[in-house]
Amino acid sequence: MKCNCGCGEEVNKRSKLGYKQGHWNKAHKTSSIFKEGNTPWNAGIKYTEEQIEKYRKRWRNPKYKKKQVEKFIKASGRKPNKQELKLDKLLQEYFPNQLKYIGDGRDGTVIKSRIPDWIHIGGKKIIVELNGCFWHNCSLCYPLLKEKYPAREKQDEKKKKDFEENGFKIITVWQHELKSNNIEQMLLGLHKALEVPTDNFVYKPKERVAWNKGLKGRIAWNKGKHLSDKHKKSLSDAHLGKICSVETRQKMSDVRKGKPCHNEESKLKLSNSKLGIKNPMFGKKPWNYGKTYTLNLH
């Protein structure tokens, strides 16, 4: 069996398309599969004007259009990402019952074969689009991408033209505007674009709650409980032979820098515990006991 690209080399019989590895990319534009008789199902079919009108009538029906769009979206698995969820929370909080998220396509609204992110519900023809800084060539975050990927800007311009031809006003929100320092300015810009008064507008950033805030004043579950000798021995045996790495030691030392590890009471307990027989060096001589050293000054 020879390769379909025309090189004349032999191909493994298991190959489904009849191409050698790496030869499909060379010949996919002028594929010889259809020349052998494997033609597509609609090859050579010419539709009449009546058939074309039937298809157009189907797509004019909103129920049929909604079903078809839902099928396409289920197949693609489109879902809102983290940035879209964050912006949707802000829009629902500061602009209630005005903007609705339809970017997943489940609503069925399609404007010239395009699905916007948010659309105005209150009668105004306004669309809100969220652009990722990397994928839409943000001039502030990625200034060098315009020369590398110029096609992205052309796609955005086509999208704007399609919406503007149908009478919609577009408001673009960039990904870097969703940072904590830029959210207030972004919301003020949306108020002006949506023609909403800013007299009662007050941005209230959510404070971060400490994980142990609710634990203050509570009694520990193991307070007053003493471990048995067997339990203590099992814990000591489990940690035998385990040596901390250099990185963990460095982290522990960095954490304790400038912080007193023990108060005066605990220091007294530790010093008293090491007196006499409890001290591991009790009755032993140091490893360098009795050794003399000479200094080589040359």
* pLDDT digits 0-9 by tens, 131-149: 999 999 998 888 888 888 8
The whole-model pTM stands at: 0.52
Per-residue pLDDT tens for 194-249? 888 888 888 888 777 676 666 667 777 777 788 888 888 888 887 777 777 788 87
Distance CA 149, CA 142 (A): 11
Distance CA 203, CA 174 (A): 19
- In CATH, which superfamily holds the domain spanning 79-193? VSR Endonuclease (3.40.960.10)
Per-residue pLDDT tens for 173-194? 999 999 888 899 999 999 989 8
Distance CA 110, CA 90 (A): 24
Structure tokens at 223: 């307070």
Question: Would you kindly state where each structural domain of the chain is located, as residue ranges?
Answer: 9-38, 48-77, 79-193
Distance CA 249, CA 254 (A): 9
Q: Which of 185, 213, 204, 196 is nearest to 98 (CA)?
A: 196
Distance CA 112, CA 165 (A): 9
Q: DSSP code of 205?
A: P
Residue 8: strand, helix, or coil = coil
